[in-house]
């Protein structure tokens, strides 16, 4: 197997990340047995495997309380730091929730972690969808637009604090946060600053993607769903002079087996053994969240029961089949403008390694042949699967 550095030498390559299972129950709301653990020791093993086989990012989750599964949750910043200490190359994207965090604590914490890890931390600013969580911890449940307005200021403050000139410091007068000549020292190692991710599907999330974040994260979706979001966020970014400054990341749950039929059977088993009560409760929470957005197009607005067995609609991306099929579909995503694929697996114990061994080199081969650039050609190759109900 080619080493990870040989695999990842092309500057135009697609990047790969995986969801860190720092909450219990894995990444599906199902009673199917999973070889996936949420403790630190197991996660260090997953992270070390991931960086060895060519993953470049890992994403931790932030949750303060159980929600539809996920009975136990480790905190994202400290967990990210622990993973960084046990790895050498992997970048870890730590989730931050405005409200419990304010920007000065976050900027200071992340700048320090950037030093400890020699420039390997990034952040994902989440805006919240789970009212029960906010209520449980005494946080105001702002309406959707206001949550995103606060997140926008949060990201402006992070960027401002991290990059403010030594002489003047950072000054900001917002509706949520205020700073006067604040000087952060040390500044982060990464220049201009650690990468800022945020995601969603609503108008509010798209505007924040266009106006303030470096990355726009999308839930699983079909081709049209990805294509329209990417084009829309790019157009919004161009309007504020940020053309080509936003990159795109998509979520996809990966099931690679010897045959497509076998992979589909695993999907059906995951969905067939869904924890119905938890999925239905999750369904009603996220549909309320989706419907409360101004355009009624929040993430999960049209998700079915079966979609929601994976928290972030990851089955819709259809990375389910043989290694060749999955590699082909991944280059199709690249041709739509996707820069990073965020993966999750049923059995982390085995499947991170398998993905790095079986799928990643195929993607790199296709990229080396110039694939992943011509959308019409890629749709002709492997687009049909996205028009079918099942993979």
Ligand X SMILES: Cc1cc2nc3c(=O)[nH]c(=O)nc-3n(C[C@H](O)[C@H](O)[C@H](O)COP(=O)(O)O)c2cc1C
Which of these segments, 32-40, 56-64, 165-173, 265-273, binds ligand X (CB under 6 A)? 56-64
Per-residue x/- mask for ligand X, residues 61 to 80, rule CB under 6 A? xxx-----------------
**Smallest separation (angstroms) from ligand X to the CB of 386:** 19
Check binding of 26 to ligand X (CB under 6 A): no
Check binding of 289 to ligand X (CB under 6 A): yes
**Smallest separation (angstroms) from ligand X to the CB of 75:** 11
What lies within 8 Å, CB to CB, of 387 at 6+ separation is none
At residue 314, the 3 state secondary structure works out as helix
Question: 95 — alpha (psi -120 to 50), left (phi > 0) or beta?
Answer: beta
Check binding of 30 to ligand X (CB under 6 A): no
Check binding of 38 to ligand X (CB under 6 A): no
**Smallest separation (angstroms) from ligand X to the CB of 126:** 3
Check binding of 129 to ligand X (CB under 6 A): yes
**Smallest separation (angstroms) from ligand X to the CB of 291:** 10
d(CA 52, CA 55): 8
Check binding of 204 to ligand X (CB under 6 A): yes
Size of the site for ligand X (CB under 6 A): 25
Question: 318 — alpha (psi -120 to 50), left (phi > 0) or beta?
Answer: left
Rounded to 5°, angle at Cα 125 from 245 and 348? 100
**Which two three-digit tokens encode residue 247?**
């990159």
Q: Do residues 341 and 14 make contact, with C-beta atoms less than 8 angstroms apart? A: yes
Check binding of 229 to ligand X (CB under 6 A): no
Which of these segments, 9-17, 32-40, 121-129, 353-361, binds ligand X (CB under 6 A)? 121-129
- What single-letter DSSP state applies at residue 386? G
Q: Do residues 134 and 65 make contact, with C-beta atoms less than 8 angstroms apart? A: no
**Which two three-digit tokens encode residue 244?**
């080509």
Q: Restricting to residues 295-324, which ones interact with ligand X according to CB under 6 A? A: 298-299, 312
Check binding of 251 to ligand X (CB under 6 A): yes
> Is the previous residue joined to 14 through a cis bond, with omega within 30 degrees of 0?
no
Which of these segments, 44-52, 174-182, 291-299, 365-373, binds ligand X (CB under 6 A)? 291-299
Q: Do residues 35 and 347 make contact, with C-beta atoms less than 8 angstroms apart? A: yes
* Site residues for ligand X per CB under 6 A: 61-63, 95, 124, 126-129, 199-202, 204-205, 217, 219, 251, 289-290, 293, 298-299, 312, 342
């Amino acid at each position: 197997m080619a080493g990870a550095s040989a695999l990842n030498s092309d500057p135009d390559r697609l990047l790969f990340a995986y969801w860190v299972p720092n909450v219990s129950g894995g990444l599906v709301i199902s009673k199917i047995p999973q070889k996936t653990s949420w403790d630190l020791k197991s996660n260090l093993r997953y992270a070390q495997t991931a960086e060895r086989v060519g993953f470049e990012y890992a994403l931790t989750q932030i949750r303060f309380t159980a929600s539809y599964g996920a009975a136990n949750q480790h905190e994202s910043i400290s967990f990210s730091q622990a993973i960084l200490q046990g790895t050498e190359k992997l970048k870890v994207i730590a989730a931050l929730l405005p409200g419990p965090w304010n920007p000065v604590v976050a900027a200071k914490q992340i700048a320090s972690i950037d030093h400890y890890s020699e420039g390997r931390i990034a952040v994902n600013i989440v805006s919240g969808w789970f009212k029960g969580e906010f209520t449980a911890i005494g946080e105001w449940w702002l309406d959707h637009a206001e949550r995103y307005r606060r997140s926008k200021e949060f990201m402006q403050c992070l960027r401002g604090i991290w990059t403010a000139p030594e002489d003047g410091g950072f000054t900001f007068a917002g509706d949520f946060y205020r700073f006067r000549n604040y000087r952060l020292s040390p500044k982060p190692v990464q220049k201009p600053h650690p990468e800022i991710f945020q995601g969603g599907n609503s108008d509010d999330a798209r505007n924040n993607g266009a106006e303030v974040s470096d990355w726009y994260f999308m839930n699983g979706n079909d081709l049209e769903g990805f294509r329209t979001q990417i084009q829309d966020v790019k157009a919004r970014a161009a309007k504020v002079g940020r053309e080509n400054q936003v990159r795109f990341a998509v979520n996809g749950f990966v099931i690679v087996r010897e045959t497509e039929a076998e992979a589909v059977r695993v999907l059906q088993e995951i969905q067939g053994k869904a924890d119905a009560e938890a999925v239905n409760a999750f369904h009603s929470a996220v549909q309320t969240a989706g419907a409360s957005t101004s355009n009624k197009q929040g993430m999960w607005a049209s998700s079915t029961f079966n979609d929601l067995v994976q928290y972030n609609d990851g089955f819709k991306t259809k990375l389910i089949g043989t290694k060749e099929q999955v590699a082909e579909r991944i280059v199709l995503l690249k041709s739509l403008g996707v820069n990073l694929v965020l993966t999750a697996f049923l059995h982390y114990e085995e499947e991170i390694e398998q993905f790095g061994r079986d799928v990643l080199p195929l993607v790199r081969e296709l990229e080396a042949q110039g694939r992943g650039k011509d959308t019409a050609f890629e749709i002709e190759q492997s687009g049909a699967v996205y028009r079918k109900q099942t993979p």
